[in-house]
Amino acid sequence: MTFNDYIKTPTGKILIPILILPVWYLMCHFLQPAVDWFVFSALGMTKGEHLAEALWFFFFEFPKVLMLLTLIIFFVGIVRTYFTPERTRKALGGKKTFTGNIMAALLGVVTPFCSCSAIPLFLGFVEAGVPLGVTFSFLIAAPMINEVAIVLLYGMFGWKVALIYVSTGLFIAIVAGWVIGILKLEKWVEPWVYATKVGKNALGEEKIHFSDRISSGYQAVKEIVAKVWLYVALGIVVGAGAHGYVPEDFMVALMGKDAWYSVPLSILIGIPLYSNAAG
């Protein structure tokens, strides 16, 4: 059996990530010394120069973000295989207000459902007796909190900014769903919605081997990283230019508290992030 054949077997699929993890750790550990050597020794640049600082920022941040992105997406891809629509529907069924809102928002972060699946999910949740407010907490959190955005924010701005992003998204989803639940808006739902029967086949439920879950992690990495790496690179190029050439107090003056347009400008900058968190 060749190596290519072996890694396609169930045992090979499980063994490969176990062997890769130590390599990933060593690459992260020695990344900064390697970049220091490349920029300041191999290229002969002087620390503190604008171009040197910009190049150092790019060669350090780009591989770091890609490595974090690969690791997180791989594990999220595995975790998501456990959260089928049918299991999510069962988990949320019968939950009380607010407790259900919290659980629904948390499930919305890790589940793999996109906007095009919102209608069958909504019908399935309502049919299962999930309160309307709890349903909306799930539907709000699912697109609002994106694992790619979490990794990018953590890699470029640190854990505090990433935590604020996740906490704010969860807070909005929980409170919005809770308010919808208090308003008792069920009467505005069309009667045919309650009469609709969404079966297991519509929501997707099947048992899969753990090696297939590993394959889902590989596939998630392949699809997402292939789509976003260029946008990550372009974003870090901009960041590198700012790091090397833009004075530290420039952005403070541009987006500071004394600038009346800081909030509208931040909103306009944030609009494209919804369509592509990495771009």
Residue 112 pLDDT: 56
Asked if 109 and 170 sit in the same domain, the reply is yes
Q: Choose among 87, 95, 83, 168: nearest CA to 133.
A: 95
pLDDT exceeds cutoff 70 at 223: yes
Angle between helix 262-275 and 248-255 (nearest 10): 100
Q: What H or E segment, with its residue span, contains residue 157?
A: helix 147-157
Q: Are 137 and 174 in contact (CB under 8 A)?
A: yes
Asked if 33 and 72 sit in the same domain, the reply is yes
pLDDT above 90: percentage of residues in the chain: 14
Q: Are 63 and 31 in contact (CB under 8 A)?
A: yes
Say how far apart CA 81 and CA 67 lie, in whole Å: 22
Q: Which of 33-47, 59-73, 109-123 has the highest mean predicted lDDT (pLDDT)?
A: 33-47
Asked if 115 and 73 sit in the same domain, the reply is no
Mean pLDDT of 9-18: 80
Cα dihedral 248, 272, 62, 245 sign: negative
Asked if 23 and 100 sit in the same domain, the reply is no
CA dihedral 228, 71, 146, 106 (to 10 degrees): 170
What distance, in Å, lies between the first and last C-alpha atoms of the chain?
42
How many structural domains are present in the chain?
Answer: 2
Asked if 68 and 96 sit in the same domain, the reply is no
Residue 203 pLDDT: 45
Asked if 143 and 181 sit in the same domain, the reply is yes
Among 27-41, 162-176, 199-213, 228-242, the least confident range: 199-213
Asked if 100 and 185 sit in the same domain, the reply is yes
Is 264 a domain residue? no
The larger pLDDT score, comparing residue 128 to residue 48, is at 48
pLDDT exceeds cutoff 90 at 80: no
pLDDT above 70: percentage of residues in the chain: 68
Asked if 97 and 146 sit in the same domain, the reply is yes
Residue 173 pLDDT: 92
Residue 56 pLDDT: 92
Is 279 a domain residue? no
Is 156 a domain residue? yes
Structural domain of residue 157, as residue ranges? 85-203
Say how far apart CA 264 and CA 252 lie, in whole Å: 16
Is 268 a domain residue? no
Asked if 32 and 135 sit in the same domain, the reply is no
Is 140 a domain residue? yes
Asked if 76 and 145 sit in the same domain, the reply is no
Query: Of 175, 203, 231, which residue sits at a domain end?
Result: 203
Say how far apart CA 266 and CA 147 lie, in whole Å: 21
Query: What's the angle, vertex CA 270, arms to CA 108 and CA 268, rounded to 5?
Result: 140
Is 275 a domain residue? no
Q: Are 147 and 73 in contact (CB under 8 A)?
A: yes
Is 215 a domain residue? yes
CA dihedral 119, 123, 124, 126 (to 10 degrees): 130
Residue 109 pLDDT: 79
Is 8 a domain residue? yes
Give pLDDT tens digits for 81-123.
Answer: 776 666 666 666 666 677 888 888 888 877 655 555 566 667 6
Say how far apart CA 250 and CA 13 lie, in whole Å: 49
Asked if 196 and 216 sit in the same domain, the reply is no
Residue 202 pLDDT: 45
Asked if 149 and 112 sit in the same domain, the reply is yes
Q: What is the CA radius of gyration of the chain?
A: 23
